[in-house]
Structure 1
């Protein structure tokens, strides 16, 4: 970045020796650069690499295809083969491929401590929330992924995101949806497993932005998030396994309708005293309404 400035100053009559003494670059490399300036192709390659690196930094699980898509959205178009070559050279291929563990290899450490310790209880809303991701295959369009966030106090699903890509954005969108639906989340604990989507920098930044506390269980310990696994079992039994789903849109609509209509408003739960999540929360607010 300094060499073009030295060249501009030289064109206005400032000696190269003086410019190099003030700006600190060595003179010999400057003359090499002047004789062989950087090509436009090299500049374009640098911008493309930067766009790919930004996509990889936001979500390390992005493969070169997804990174190329994100770079294109940022204004730097390239073929997927060119993206693969650049990602291979820069070492920004999907971390999901490199994290497959074999015998004797250790799991990566958690980003957050376990603040739950399998005690899935809360005495008020917005104190403890659980999150996880499930997937289901359609017959014609591939898999559909769903990330849900459950408030432990009433077992209500306060946030949900559904996509054909299992990336950090899926988890971040679910968190944003939960915050938009029910604010005042400062200090709330969000407990998850050690999935890469919840370990991502984007997810950590989103938690800090809302002053929430991240929490993670152990690897291969389903009991550390058992209360969320029980919800997925209900979804699997009542929706996913009921039929063969042809399109993602068909499956997406069925999931949302079941959560909002059946699970929230019609399915009574013993842990809530025989009430549905909506009824339980309504009963909680009755004394507040009368007091007002």
Structure 2
């Protein structure tokens, strides 16, 4: 009897959709790397899917396509509008120029331009600057040109990193990416250049509360108590539900996160908030860890899905210890809330989802990117998968010693 696959049908379907969305611009190897699967496995899934009819709703009709194009056109038209009146003006009471290089450089340029007509000595006297300073400026022209060339090259790399990660990275993650490429560069310099050239990462937006507690269901004890650290993988997990608007309806997303590596171990998406949404995500996480997760703590809020008898039964089936925070306190499940903030900040600000397939694909794309490539501040700016690989490597070295 063949061993069951650790990849759910939902995951395989979304992986195939991600490959098809690349439209030949990316290889099987590239897409598989984001999914953390073998390229041949992905190739097999795609090949097998070619022989089956497309799922209902996977192909947009003319009306859906027209609606999508109209929405995209409206978004672009809005983006092209001019900046608000007064945007970018200096703050009240601040100087346009700071006393320093800008004004001095203008003075030295003026002296160079009129030296033959009036003489250097006379101009320096009128401008009340020293001739020695002017000559030092002349002598340093080559060094300044070299520094400017280095700065221009660094800004270009910053732009490439910023663009590659969808405009999401701020100064800290851009700096970590540069260090990962072998650059020795100061973090404050990166922040200054990004500020100077108006390269800005995504900012947090207000969130909407989604937890619907079942006050009659017996809650589990709080085994975490806002301590979202863990000494080992699979010591503590946490989970939560969020939703995104798709046309006039909603798509709901449940995730399970390892508190040690911040990796999203399992997730599930559906057009409902029934208990199977969270049980499917939990089963996917268990499959990711190979099936043996006895003793792991799973922390959640007190939403009715997590206090249900069905969820308790699945948790007991795998030997998972349930933990719950207080009602109405987002801080008691802050790690999961942070994941939702990142997801919405980096994907939903620019997307008006018109079909379920479009929403699923974009969310799936971000979750795989988050696990394999997105640098995490709590992991010394490694991605969750890189952190786990380093963790396993250190464990093997420790055993060998």
TM range (shorter): 0.5 to 0.7
Counterpart residue number, 2:309: 201
Q: Is the CA contact 1:126–1:184 (under 8 Å) kept in the aligned structure 2?
A: no
The CA deviation at 1:273 is 1.1
Once the two structures are superposed, the pairs formed by residues 219-230 of structure 1 within 5 Å of their partners are 219-230=327-338
1:264 aligns with 2:348: no
Report the Cα offset of residue 109 of structure 1. 5.8
Q: Are residues 1:235 and 2:343 paired? A: yes
Q: 1:245 aligns with which of 325, 341, 353?
A: 353
Q: Residues 162-196 of structure 1, C-alpha deviation per residue, up to 9 Å, x if partnerless?
A: 00111000011001111111132101010011111
Structure 2 counterpart of 1:177, from 284, 288, 299: 284
Equivalent pairs, count:
187
1:165 aligns with 2:246: no
Aligned partner of 1:276 in structure 2 is 383
TM-score, structure 2 as length reference: 0.45
Measured after TM superposition, the shift of residue 288 of structure 1 is 3.8
Change (3 A) 1:196 1:166: same
Displacement of 1:260 in angstroms is 0.6
The alpha-carbon deviation at position 110 of structure 1 amounts to: 4.4
Q: Deviations over 1:56-79 (max 9, x none)?
A: xxxxxxxxxxxxxxxxxxxxxxxx
The structural deviation recorded for 1:286 is 1.2
- Map 1:1-292 → 2, pairs under 5 A: 107-108=215-216, 110-139=218-247, 142-182=249-289, 183-261=291-369, 263-290=370-397, 291=399
> Match of 1:19?
none
Post-superposition Cα deviations, 1:69-121, rounded to whole Å, max 9, x if no partner, equal xxxxxxxxxxxxxxxxxxxxxxxxxxxxxxx99xxxx9446421110100001
Is the CA contact 2:217–2:307 (under 8 Å) kept in the aligned structure 1? no
- Give distance in 2, aligned partners of 1:242 and 1:184: 39
Relative contact order higher in (CA < 8 Å, ≥ 6 apart): 2
Q: Contact between 1:149 and 1:175, CA under 8 Å: does it hold in 2?
A: yes
- Could you list the runs of 5+ residues in structure 1 that have no partner in the other structure? 1-99
Counterparts in 2 of 1:186 and 1:116: CA distance versus 1, 3 Å: same
Q: Is contact 1:110-1:194 (8 Å) kept?
A: no
Alignment partners' CA distance in 2, 1:187 and 1:274: 29
Cα RMSD between the aligned structures?
Answer: 1.8
SS at 1:196 equivalent: coil
Distance between the aligned counterparts of 2:276 and 2:222, measured in 1?
A: 23
Instruction: Using structure 1 for the length normalisation, give the TM-score.
Output: 0.61
- Provide runs of 4+ in structure 1 moved above 6 Å: none
CA positional deviation for 1:269: 1.5
Question: Greater CA radius of gyration, 1 or 2?
Answer: 2
Q: Distance in 2 between matches of 1:287 and 1:171?
A: 33
